Amino acid sequence: MSTASVNILTLNLKINGRDYCVSCSPDASLSSVLRDNIGLSGTKEGCGSGECGCCTVLLDSKSVKSCITPAFRAEGAEVITIEGLSSPVHPLHPVQEAFVEAGAIQCGFCTPGFVLSAYSLLKEIPNPDEQDIKNGLSGNICRCTGYETIFKAVQLAAEKLNSSEREARE
């Protein structure tokens, strides 16, 4: 594509390691394509306009709010949704395990977004202090937990990831 105008796009997307081909309008958000075209409903839509972080996914390992990410922006990138964190060997990723163990989930609506924001934060800062955690999760809102258990879960996740990395090295 170059200077020819289009009003329906055909996109080739790589999501959780699988290839998909979808048609959508230029203003379609990544969250709507994930949920409605592909059926990956683990990505939640709360506010739908970039404010709550429920829809967070990873684009090339970096967290983004998929409700305000144009779907076409994901072409050529690797998209990871909450469904893509687990593997046959590890039904729950260490970050997810930490959320369960720390009791960081109540209604659970915000959880996929928090887990992926935490995952992205821990990739950037493997040993975050409390302020790093608060900053890293400042784009996510939870109406239930009061955040303390979520911050603890991220600390726990950091410990888990660091110890499994140590074990792998030894």
Partner 1 sequence: MNYFKPESLDEYFNCIEKSEGFVRPLAGGADIMHRLKKKFLKKDGLTLIDINVLSDLKELEERDGELRIGALTKLSRLQEFLAGKAGYNLLHTALGSSACSQIRHQGTVGGHLAGCLPGSHLFPVLLLHEARIEIVSPGGMREVDLDTLQKQPYHNNLKKNELISALILPALPAKKSYYWGEGERKGFCFAPFVLGWSFSEEAGLRIAGGNLPRGAVRFRVLEEKLAGSFVPLIDCLKEEFHFQEKQGNPLSEYQKTLLYRFMKVIKDKGEIK
In angstroms, the CA 60 to CA 53 distance is 18
Sign, CA dihedral 29-77-114-96, equals positive
In angstroms, the CA 63 to CA 67 distance is 12
In angstroms, the CA 119 to CA 126 distance is 10
Q: Least separation, in Å, of the C-beta of 6 and partner 1?
A: 5
Of 49 and 163, CB closest to partner 1: 49
Q: Least separation, in Å, of the C-beta of 149 and ligand FES?
A: 9
Of 16 and 140, CB closest to partner 1: 140
Give the x/- contact pattern for partner 1 in 73-112, rule: CB under 8 A.
Answer: x---------------------------------------
Which residue, judged by CB position, is nearest to ligand FAD in the bound state? 50
By CB under 6 A, which span of 11-19, 34-42, 80-88, 137-145 interacts with ligand FES? 137-145
Question: Cβ distance 136 to 101 under 8 Å?
Answer: no
Regarding 99 and contact with ligand FES (CB under 6 A), the answer is no
**Crossing angle (nearest 10°) for helices 111-124 and 94-101:** 120
